[in-house]
Each structure stands twice: as structure tokens, then as C-alpha cells.
Amino acid sequence: MKKLLASVALTMLSLTPALAQDCTTTVTTIEPGKLTVAAYDYPPFTIVAADGSISGIDPDIAAAVAKDNCLELVALVMDPAATTQSVIAGKADIAIGSWNRTEKRSEVLGISAPTYLDPMGILSKDGVDTIEGLVGKKVGTVAGYLWVEQMQELLGDNLAIYPDAVALAQDLAAGRIDAAADGYNYAAYAQKNAGAYEGIQIKLAQPDERVSASVKAPQAGILYTKGNDSLGAAIDATIGRLAAEGAITKAIVDAGYDARVADVGEPWLVK
């Protein structure tokens, strides 16, 4: 997960149903009748406007949860790390911003049903989309990604590891590497909306058992106060409804992604 430093206007699909006039809630929240959301700027999943208002795929899901459960949505905008800490500290009910569902996070936070995938992407000028297609090439990736260790075993000295996605993109553009393994969501959005990766093809990595992240992409979810079962059940119910209606898939496609990003499969947690 990375922060995309771009200010982009984006029209997102509204996922929010209308509130009934006599609506009452059975969901427990920090402030009764309100759903406090901790958010940071990570387009298109969460977009923070200059006035502090939020929009995007995750805020639309959060707004749907609020209205499904007769709650007023209250947004708190902050730095990425502070969003999860605000939930742990009891200052916010949920945190949004394409957070991966991991075992480590589940120790201190509730994690919703999966919303969409955070898959591995392969970036190159010639459209490579397989792990085998990277063998023999000079390839770059970013430190800390799930696939780094397995790709090191496969590619050896042909794998260059960068501190961040910006440095990786610069070397790819300059031809110092032949291809890159990066987060598909980040790269595809940056190319479409921020003018990045000119002349580069961005592909979803085809499954290859040698690199497990290509076979089973991490799932994103909404983080909430651990132990708040009523809130967790409410979030999951809304995500289930939106998925069944095709609303999440439409939002993913409208943002410029492959529809497969919304095909989450069975819930699981990254170890």
C-alpha cells in the first residue's frame, strides 16, 4: 500500500442508499448515531478535497454502511499511519484507504469482509504479464512488497530493489531496468490520472506458483474497532449487498481498473 501524491478530480459511483425517515440504529459506535471515519488521501480509493471532504471507492462504501444503519458519517482526515491508530485509540470507528487484510492487523483491529484486491502488476514496454517473462530481464520492485523474497530467489542479481515506487518508475522510464513488479492498483491509476508510466504497459500478473502473490492477491478491507461485533456485522452486510448488486465492480471499472480487481474470492488474511 502506498500513497499516490496526486491531486485528481474523479467522478465516483455513488453507492449510498436513501435513509428512511424513521430510521434507527442498533450499531454501537464511539459517538451514538454517528460513524466516525479516519481517512487519508489515496486516490481513487480515498480522495481528500481541499476543504477536507472525502470521496472515492472507500468513502462511498463507508457512506453506504452509515446510511444502511441510520448513522451520520463523520470524516477525520489524517496521515496514513494515524488512521489505524485512531481506531485502536477509540477516536474513530473505522479506517479506510485500501488497507490490506493481514493477520498482524487482525490482532489489534477488526477487519471487514474483503472489498477488492490489491494485486501484483507487471510493468514493461513490451507488455509482459507472466513471471516467466521476467526471467533473464533486469527487473525492479519495491522493498517490503509481499513478492520480494520469492522474486529474489527466482531472479537473483537481476532483481533491483528500490526504496519507493517513484525511484522504481524513474529507472523504468530511463531504461535502466526492463520491467517492474509494482502494485497494479497504484500503477494503473497513476498512469491514467497522473501522467506516469508513459509508454509502459501495465498488466495484472498471471498466476505463477513460484510467486505466491501472483496467485493469491491481498484483499483490501475496512478496519474497525476490535470487538465491536455489531459494527463488524453491519459493515460486512453492506459490503455483501454492494458486491451482489455489482456496485463495487462498477466502481472499480469506472476508476479504470480491470474488473478482476473486484473478484475477491473467499476471505483470507495475509500472514
Q: Could you read off the pLDDT of 36-54 as tens digits, one per residue?
A: 999 999 889 999 999 989 9
Question: What is the CATH class of 120-215?
Answer: alpha beta
Domains 34-117+219-262 and 120-215 share a fold: yes
Mean pLDDT of the chain: 91
Mean pLDDT confidence for 163-180: 94
Model confidence pLDDT, tens digit, residues 208-226: 999 999 999 999 999 999 9
Residue of 48, 34, 36 whose CA lies nearest to 91: 36
pTM: 0.83
Strand pairing report for 120-124 and 159-162 = unpaired
Give domain 34-117+219-262's CATH architecture.
3-Layer(aba) Sandwich (3.40)
pLDDT of residue 109: 98
pLDDT of residue 238: 98
Where are the chain's structural domains? 34-117+219-262, 120-215
pLDDT of residue 21: 52
Mean pLDDT confidence for 172-188: 95
Length of the chain: 271
CA distance 129 to 121: 8
pLDDT of residue 10: 32
Q: Residue 12: which pLDDT band, with cuts at 50, 70 and 90?
A: very low
Model confidence pLDDT, tens digit, residues 249-261: 999 999 989 999 9
pLDDT at 152 over 90: yes
Residues 6+ apart with CB under 8 A from 57: 12, 44, 45, 46, 115, 116, 248, 251, 252, 255
Whether 10 and 193 have beta carbons less than 8 Å apart is answered as yes
